[in-house]
Amino acid sequence: MRIAIIGTGYVGLVAGTCFAESGHDVTCVDLDARKVEALRRGELPLYEPGLEELVRRNVAARRLRFTGHLPEAVSPAQVVFIAVGTPQSERGSADLQYVLAAAEQIGRALRHYTVIVNKSTVPVGTSDQVRAVVARNTDVVFDVVSNPEFLKEGAALDDFLKPDRVVIGATSERARKLMADLYAPFVRTENPILFMDPHSAELTKYAANAMLATRISFMNDMALLCERVGANVDLVRKGMGADRRIGYAFLYPGIGYGGSCFPKDVRALMSTARDAGLELDLLRAVESTNTRQKRCLLGKALKHYGSLADHTFAVWGLAFKPKTDDMREAPSVELIEGLLGKGARVQCHDPVAGAVARQYFGDRVAYAPTCYEAAEGADGVFLVTEWNEFRRPDLKRLRALMRRPIIFDGRNVLDPRLARSEGFTYIGVGRD
């Protein structure tokens, strides 16, 4: 099958590469000529484990191509995916200017029946807008389908190649059959393709992310309560998760969620509800809890030291989660800005996000090649992102490097008893 992907960001690049890996002929489109040339060389604009190798392999096999000329990709395609950005507008809703601009160009390039797929995360009703824009620019028969992505950064290839479910919002049997054929290689283990109307498909993505964000914020509220009443959130979490109706996923307390999906999608869902005359008080509380939680380590440090002026701190982890270099709305950003604002010096380390961090902080912080070098002379270490290499550090070596042996564990990944036995003051989230 010939496929065109409009947009080579995280979603478009992963989708295009995985479709090519399953044998399809894929052309990805991007307006940035330098980005296109870099992708042709196998140089990726983002970090995702395993993706670079897969891109290079499929480019070499000529199943995956990159171009800056949209008609070249769209005209011969049977399926065209719109995977452009939907940045957050000032009022919290998704900005659809890039989606609708792509739809207009696609309409002009159509030459035969084509299924146009919204892969971008978009508000309810976007499929209707795309259909109207395309129809104004072509007399060719087409269908518009909503096919939201459910990719976790750091595990995107597995999520795409072995999905929990594939959601297809379509109104015609012809489009449903084509999409079923397209996704058949990925659902051989009986994970379902869920067919529904486009509006339901569009809402499903926002609802799923809002639910996961709610679980995180709920556990962070429980962690705060544990600190106030002398309980241990690790034990509370185990007791809750053992209930099969609840389970353990997304019940880990910490310093809040970040990234490109949860914050934006929660706000977009609230905006959609507001436009429909409904205030989602629960989600407003979720967002408020998350905002508060991003400040919790700074608050703990102020309580412990009194003043942070002229102190030096190591920050371990800058990306919003492990296995990505994405720092959008990362808790590390608010923490570091808070430390700098209080007159502290910051020495940071992240296995892959160092280059991205320079775009945020420039030369206001020091960048260390290892977590131990970041800790040299530090008055405390803030563990912010739970990379595997931070889970079992050499505590004796770490203590010898630091000026004061204090750890603020923002992800509760270290063993408090072990840290204290090595002479550290250990401060976690919701536990002793």
Query: According to the annotation, is 91 in a ligand binding site?
Result: no
Instruction: Tell how many helices (H) and how many strands (E) occur in the chain.
Output: 18, 14
Query: According to the annotation, is 272 in a ligand binding site?
Result: no
Can 28 be counted among the known catalytic residues?
Answer: no
∠81-83-89 over CA atoms, to 5°? 140
Which of 261, 296, 348, 371 is labelled catalytic? Answer: 261
Query: According to the annotation, is 321 in a ligand binding site?
Result: yes
Type and span of the H or E element at 100 = helix 97-109
Query: According to the annotation, is 205 in a ligand binding site?
Result: yes
CA 313 – CA 41 distance, rounded (Å) = 39
Query: According to the annotation, is 250 in a ligand binding site?
Result: yes
CA 427 – CA 432 distance, rounded (Å) = 7
Query: According to the annotation, is 258 in a ligand binding site?
Result: yes
CA 426 – CA 415 distance, rounded (Å) = 9
Query: According to the annotation, is 177 in a ligand binding site?
Result: no
| 250 Rama sector, left if φ>0, alpha if ψ -120 to 50, beta otherwise | left
CA 36 – CA 33 distance, rounded (Å) = 5
CA 168 – CA 391 distance, rounded (Å) = 39
64-67, strands of its sheet edge to edge: 64-67, 25-29, 2-6, 79-82, 114-118, 142-146, 166-169, 193-196
Type and span of the H or E element at 374 = helix 371-374
Query: According to the annotation, is 254 in a ligand binding site?
Result: yes
Scanning the structure block, which residue is given the tokens 């960001």?
9
Query: According to the annotation, is 328 in a ligand binding site?
Result: yes
Query: According to the annotation, is 121 in a ligand binding site?
Result: yes
Query: According to the annotation, is 151 in a ligand binding site?
Result: yes
Query: According to the annotation, is 27 in a ligand binding site?
Result: no
Query: According to the annotation, is 66 in a ligand binding site?
Result: no
Query: According to the annotation, is 30 in a ligand binding site?
Result: yes
Query: According to the annotation, is 253 in a ligand binding site?
Result: yes
Phi, psi (rounded to 5 degrees) for 213? -65, -35
Which residues fall in the annotated binding site?
A: 30, 35, 86, 121, 150-153, 205, 250-254, 258, 264, 321, 328
As annotated, the active-site residues are: 261
Which residues fall in the annotated binding site for substrate?
A: 150-153, 205, 250-254, 258, 321
Which residues fall in the annotated binding site for NAD(+)?
A: 30, 35, 86, 121, 153, 264, 328
